[in-house]
Amino acid sequence: MDFISAAMVVGGMCFLVGSVMFSVKTRKRANLYTLYWCVYIGFILFFIFSYGAALLLSYSGYFVLNAFYAVALLLGTLVVFVSNFLCFVTVEKLKRIEKYVQNYSDLRDLAELDKLTGCNTKAYFLKVLESRYKQIKLDSSRVVILFIELKNLKEIGESMGAKTIDLALKAVGKLLLQRFRRMDVVAYYETGQFVVLMEKLSLDNAKKVAHEITNAIRPFAKQQVSAAIELECFIGVSEISNDLATYTEGLHNAEAACSEAKSSDALAVHVF
């Protein structure tokens, strides 16, 4: 075998070695189809050793390789090397895209979820409310808003500390997320205030749900925070319909209903 054929065989073996390196890196990065990648790498290693042995035998006087097989080996190994390189680059880009998607998801969660209570933020709630109001203008549907304000929160902070207030807010957020449906939007509005947007529910049923919340908050807070805590709430209920001029009007009506409940010692829930 002449020098050119030997050089092509050696070059083909180098391409195969590079293919093995990229295949190993790709398998580690993708972490999928491990068995198939191992079999594939095994085949490449088999060709490397077989052509290496053939090269040694050719220089020992045995006619094993000629120029045709050397060219075929060089072109075939080049194709294998390029395909492995492209596969490695593709997996790297997919990993970067996956990282970007995860970062976006984390940023979205930070923007939409309140870190303390686990509920949605006020900004997200208003955005959903505005969108839902536009839909109401088109199909004349209705949604219900609950405006929840905690009672005795200031006294709890003065007697038990600010940390207890955080624990109480966290407990209330947990309770609301458990009690309401997945389709409902539960948000932490302002200090000691929560709002809930409920669809496909009448005012009477919404009022029943509000009473259930007022009855559940005190024992749940005692269980989750402290047996000494006395936490109660007032709830205002309002309906957003096609008759309202703006989407914030329904929210203000619910807040006004909550204030009405606060001003009356006999009422914990008031419907606007």
Gap between the Cα atoms of 233 and 23, Å rounded? 62
Comparing 22 with 238, which gets the higher pLDDT?
238
Interval 151-173 mean pLDDT = 86
Place of tokens 């120029």: 67
22 vs 11: CA distance, rounded Å: 17
User: What is the per-residue pLDDT for 84?
Assistant: 73
Question: What is the pLDDT confidence band of residue 193, given thresholds at 50, 70 and 90?
Answer: very high
**Which one is predicted more confidently, 94 or 122?**
122
* pLDDT at 62 (0 to 100): 55
Say if residue 59's pLDDT is above 60.
Answer: yes
- Mean pLDDT of the 156-171 span: 86
* DSSP designation for 121: P
pLDDT category of residue 222 using cuts at 50, 70 and 90: confident
| Spatial separation of the C-alpha atoms in residues 58 and 26, rounded to whole Å | 35
Which domains occur in the chain, in start order?
Answer: 3-112 (no CATH), 122-271 (3.30.70.270)
Give the pLDDT confidence score for residue 25 in this predicted structure: 73
- List the single range of 49-63, 204-218, 222-236 with lowest mean pLDDT: 49-63
Assess contact for 235 and 147: CB atoms under 8 A. yes
Burial environment of residue 68 by CB neighbours within 10 A (0 to 12, 13 to 18, 19 or more): exposed
Report d(CA 216, CA 161) in Å as an integer. 23
Residues 6 or more apart whose Cβ sits within 8 Å of residue 161? none
pLDDT in tens, 69-115: 666 666 677 767 777 777 777 777 877 777 777 765 655 555 678 88
Q: How big, in percent rounded to 5, are the helix, strand and coil portions of the chain?
A: 65, 15, 20
